Amino acid sequence: MSDILKFVELDWKNGALFIAALIIVAVFLIQKWDWVIERFGIISKRRLAIEKQQKDVAELKEHAKKTDENIEKLVGTVGEMKDCI
């Protein structure tokens, strides 16, 4: 019971220190949010969106590579046809 009374009788200095500590912890968590999320294996909507964008970019690069190969084949075929004429 005496602990509860001590807690209730806190003066404004201790209250201000407690609030400052809460603010410091909150700021730290906000700054390190990505690390906290990754550390505990939580998948956020933002992380899912980033992974989808990375997958889409990889697919576009593969498509561009295939397109370049097809264009080179067509240029070669046109060159062969030109030589036949």
3-state helix/strand/coil string of 17-62: HHHHHHHHHHHHHHHCHHHHHHHCCCCCHHHHHHHHHHHHHHHHHH
**8-state DSSP, 80:** H
> Which two three-digit tokens encode residue 51?
């992974």
pLDDT at 1: 56
CB 46 within 8 A of CB 53: no
Helix (H, G, I), strand (E, B) or coil at 85: coil
Q: For the segment 19-67, what is each residue's pLDDT rounded down to a tens digit?
A: 899 999 999 888 888 787 778 877 878 888 999 999 999 999 999 999 9
pLDDT digits (tens, 9 = 90+) for 55-82: 999 999 999 999 999 999 999 888 888 7
pLDDT of residue 10: 66
Q: What pLDDT shows up at residue 66? A: 96
